[in-house]
Amino acid sequence: MHWLSKNAFCGLAAVGVAAAAAPAFAGCGVGGPVQPAVFSSASGGAGLTPANLGAQGIVGMWSVQFLANGGVFDTAYAQWHSDGTELMNSLGRTPASGNVCMGVWTQTGPFSYHLRHLALSFDPATGKPDHRDVISEDVTVDPRGQSFSGPFTIDAYDPKSGAQVAHIAGTINGQRVNP
């Protein structure tokens, strides 16, 4: 009897170690990779939502609004690409003044991103450059990946002298444009 209980104890211990060492997933024929999920009260508590772990969570098209000095400074459509580039089409500027510009971005945390965006502005009457802008954004995407927000700054420089001629600081908010 002593031998049997010693073997039973060793067998149970081995099963316990094996169970703790490697998780098991039962799929019952459901294909596809296993994806982490989080509980979402947005669906009325009815289920789990895939977790956005921040991997390229900014990639896509966004409708954005720049807020500064107590009001809307500009609105735009922006596309953030997986290669670290970004394009923006400003709705608050005429094409003659330069309403399309480009940027580069990097991921700084699980849901956060830094963008350095360069813009050229032109005098619509003459077509000559009137200033060069450097826009910096530090945005955080919400866990569902449908919106972002954060601070921005715009520094405008004279195209000839390089002297800074303006500084604007505010908040940018973005809403994902879904297909």
Annotated domain spans of the chain? 60-176
Query: What residue type is 37 in one-letter code?
Result: A
**Which residues are within 8 A (CB) of 48 and not within 5 positions of it... i.e. 6 or more apart?**
37, 38, 39, 40
What's the pTM? Answer: 0.68
- CATH for 60-176 (1.10.890, 1.50.10, 2.60.40, 2.40.128): 2.40.128
How confident is the prediction along the chain (179 residues), in pLDDT tens digits per residue? 454 455 555 554 544 444 444 444 344 444 444 444 444 445 455 555 555 454 459 999 999 999 999 999 999 999 999 999 999 999 888 787 888 999 999 999 999 999 999 999 999 899 999 999 999 999 999 999 999 999 999 999 999 999 999 999 999 999 999 98
